[in-house]
């Protein structure tokens, strides 16, 4: 069957890596360390996918920007201390190379910073299978379409041949803003109800389901 999509763009946290609980917990602990209002679990999960600056603005709207650096530092300290809890979802390590070898362009669009993504790519052993990556600090954060626009430009793929795969409404809204199709995964940060609102082509509940859908439809 001819490929429907030449470029497959994956979110990282909550889509390829099981890191949602670590991110939410680290942000909540960082706020507690500095005596700031501690967001609830669902609030902390909602900001996953955004760049750190945008995430803090959502969670702590009264906090002046000059006070962001201490909070970012505490967040990163908590996140790195839970490194052993960060693992790829079952099947990711086999599926990404298979998609690469099948002739797809494979890319990442993430709210992580460059150092964090590079570290994750190296630890996962998947770096060589991604043709391009973009982070929030390198252009506008999701849901702005800049990351997708830049990936499509550098890989010379038009919107109608591009698919965004993610676990948050930020991913799906970015796809809509960029004029590309999307597939949602429900095993990450946002609820099925939030994801359905953006009318993805399909919604899957496990990475195995995602891999099967991509094999049959991408």
pLDDT at 2: 62
Which pLDDT score, from 0 to 100, does residue 171 have? 98
Instruction: Tell whether 162 and 128 lie within a shared domain.
Output: yes
| CATH number for the domain harbouring residue 32 | 1.10.150
Is 27 within 8 Å of 189 (Cβ atoms)? no
* Same-domain status, 142 and 49: no
99 falls within a domain: yes
Residues 103 and 64 in one domain: no
Last residue of some domain: 54, 84, 114?
Answer: 84
Structural domain contains residue 143: yes
Domain hosting 44: range is: 20-84
Instruction: Please check whether residues 13 and 26 belong to one and the same domain.
Output: no
Number of domains the chain is built from: 2
pLDDT at 136: 87
d(CA 110, CA 142): 8
End position of a domain, from candidates 60, 84, 108: 84
pLDDT, position 61: 95
Q: Do both 122 and 176 map to the same domain? A: yes
Same domain membership, residue 40 and residue 95: no
**2 domain residue, yes or no:** no
CA–CA separation, 161 vs 144, rounded Å?
19
The secondary structure of the chain as a DSSP string is ---S-SEEEE--BTTTEE-HHHHHHHHHHHHHHTTPPPPPHHHHHHTBTB-HHHHHHHH-TTS-GGGHHHHHHHHHHHHHHTGGG-EEPTTHHHHHHHHHHTT-EEEEEESS-HHHHHHHHHHHT-GGG-SEEEEGGGSPPTTSTHHHHHHHHHHT--GGGEEEEESSHHHHHHHHHHT-EEEEETTSSS-HHHHHTT--SEEESSHHHHHHHHHHH-
pLDDT in tens, the chain (218 residues): 567 999 999 999 999 999 999 999 999 999 999 999 999 999 999 999 999 999 999 999 999 999 999 999 999 999 999 988 999 999 999 999 999 999 999 999 999 999 999 999 999 999 999 999 999 889 899 999 999 999 999 999 999 999 999 999 999 999 999 999 999 999 999 999 999 999 999 999 999 999 999 999 98
Both 207 and 102 in a single domain? Answer: yes
User: What pLDDT is attached to residue 205?
Assistant: 97
Q: At 190, which CATH number?
A: 3.40.50.1000
């Amino acid at each position: 069957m001819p490929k429907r999509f030449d470029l497959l763009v994956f979110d990282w946290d909550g889509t390829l890596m099981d890191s949602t609980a670590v991110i939410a917990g680290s942000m909540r602990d960082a706020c507690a360390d500095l005596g700031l209002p501690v967001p609830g679990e669902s609030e902390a999960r909602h900001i996953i996918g955004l760049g750190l600056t945008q995430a803090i603005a959502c969670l702590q709207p009264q906090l002046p920007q000059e006070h962001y650096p201490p909070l970012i530092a505490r967040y990163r300290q908590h996140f790195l201390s839970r490194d052993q809890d960060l693992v790829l979802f079952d099947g990711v390590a086999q599926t990404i190379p298979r998609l690469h070898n099948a002739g797809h362009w494979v890319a990442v669009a993430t709210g992580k910073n460059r150092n964090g993504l590079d570290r994750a790519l190296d630890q996962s052993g998947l770096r060589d299978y991604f043709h391009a990556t973009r982070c929030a600090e390198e252009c506008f954060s999701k849901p702005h379409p800049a990351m997708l626009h830049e990936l499509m430009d550098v890989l010379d793929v038009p919107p109608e041949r591009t698919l965004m795969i993610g676990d948050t409404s930020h991913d799906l809204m970015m796809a809509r803003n960029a004029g590309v199709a999307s597939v949602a995964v429900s095993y990450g940060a946002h609820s099925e109800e939030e994801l359905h609102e953006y009318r993805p082509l399909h919604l899957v509940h496990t990475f195995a389901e995602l891999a099967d859908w991509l094999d049959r439809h991408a």
